[in-house]
Amino acid sequence: METLIKVERLVKYFPVKKLFWTVGNVHAVDGVSFEIFKGETFGLVGESGCGKTTLGRLILRLIEPTSGSVYFDGKDVFKLKGKELMRFRRQAQIVFQDPFSSLDPRMMIFDIIYEPVKVHKINIEDPEAYVVSLLERVGLKREHLYRYPHEFSGGQRQRIVIARALALNPIFMVLDEPTSALDVSVQAQILNMLKDLQKDLGLTYLFISHDLSVVRYMSHRMAIMYLGKIVEIADSEEIFEKPLHPYTQMLFSAIPVPDPELAKRKLEERLIPKGEVPSPINPPPGCRFHPRCPYATDRCRSEEPPLAEVAAGYRVACWLYAKG
């Protein structure tokens, strides 16, 4: 499989300021490495504050990193300039979580979707026909062209956001919780549409979500983040079959399943992490999960486990599985 994106030891700290002095750093993303293959959906899961959104924005260079690099099609994204940067901006797009704040209420749908084309000064003979073709792609119609965002429901707005992202024929899209603001009956429509678009246009997705069931439905491979670090990364079917990291196991057992019998069985063997996620300003030493982990040993408290390969394409950061 061909690699499209390669992330290497990516770090992003946000300074915490008190008056004039920096009193600490939020370790939002702390030394993350992985790759995304062409044509796949890569799922990124974690609880709020684990750094998954920051990671998505770093990959698109919407924010600059503290250190580390991201290679897009072999080129370092943070060193791109001029024409090459503009090309990257066309090829990589993002869909945000909240379709109510990501559309300008004063612009008509046509202008919203056509704006990226204008910004990149691309010549299109018939702009209206082009926008209509994009609208049809996402299940909307010509009659929607000259309306304002407030006339649309949440699901329709998200379709408009997706149409705008498609306007420049991207090859890669970051989908940052694209359905968490939507109701379940509409969520399924959007998820299926995203899957179809990927098949038709050969897109590569980075799918960020806190909802594991959605990630399972969408992604080929996935990574689980905890406090700025990746703790487990593998083929998603394999992870869902048998998660290895204690944090992943707990995350899975915490999810209520819509099946009363299975729910009962799950309750009996359920492991729920004690306490809450510690502050990312002063993450615990050693393995960041150790204060909540039932298997924690002395080594976990002092030494950080590396993200090591335990089987082909399966990496876990936990001393339970480390060799030697």
Which positions touch other proteins (CB under 8 A)? 47-48, 153, 155-156, 183-189, 191-192, 210-214, 216-220, 236-237, 240, 250-263, 266-267, 270, 272-273, 275-277
Q: Output the smallest distance, CB 68 to other proteins, in A.
A: 27
Q: Output the smallest distance, CB 234 to other proteins, in A.
A: 14
Q: How far apart are CA 210 and CA 207, in angstroms?
A: 10
Cβ(117)–Cβ(124) below 8 Å: yes
Q: How far apart are CA 102 and CA 47, in angstroms?
A: 23
Q: In what order do the strands lie in the sheet with 67-72?
A: 21-37, 3-18, 67-72, 75-76
The total of other beta-carbon atoms located within 10 Å of residue 144's CB is: 19
Complete DSSP assignment for 138-196: TT--GGGTT--GGGS-HHHHHHHHHHHHHTT--SEEEEESTTTTS-HHHHHHHHHHHHH
Q: Which is nearer to other proteins, 258 or 324 (CB)?
A: 258
Q: Which is nearer to other proteins, 72 or 217 (CB)?
A: 217
Q: Which is nearer to other proteins, 71 or 252 (CB)?
A: 252
Q: Output the smallest distance, CB 154 to other proteins, in A.
A: 9
Q: Which is nearer to other proteins, 63 or 267 (CB)?
A: 267
| Structure-token pair, residue 113 | 């979707």
Q: Output the smallest distance, CB 253 to other proteins, in A.
A: 8
Cβ(66)–Cβ(244) below 8 Å: no
Which residue type, as a one-letter code, is found at position 177? Answer: E
Which residue type, as a one-letter code, is found at position 148? Answer: Y
Q: How far apart are CA 173 and CA 92, in angstroms?
A: 6
Q: Which is nearer to other proteins, 171 or 188 (CB)?
A: 188
Q: How far apart are CA 31 and CA 9, in angstroms?
A: 4
Q: Output the smallest distance, CB 187 to other proteins, in A.
A: 7
Q: Output the smallest distance, CB 170 to other proteins, in A.
A: 23
Q: Which is nearer to other proteins, 19 or 272 (CB)?
A: 272
DSSP-assigned letter for residue 290: G
Q: Which is nearer to other proteins, 45 or 174 (CB)?
A: 45
Q: Output the smallest distance, CB 269 to other proteins, in A.
A: 13
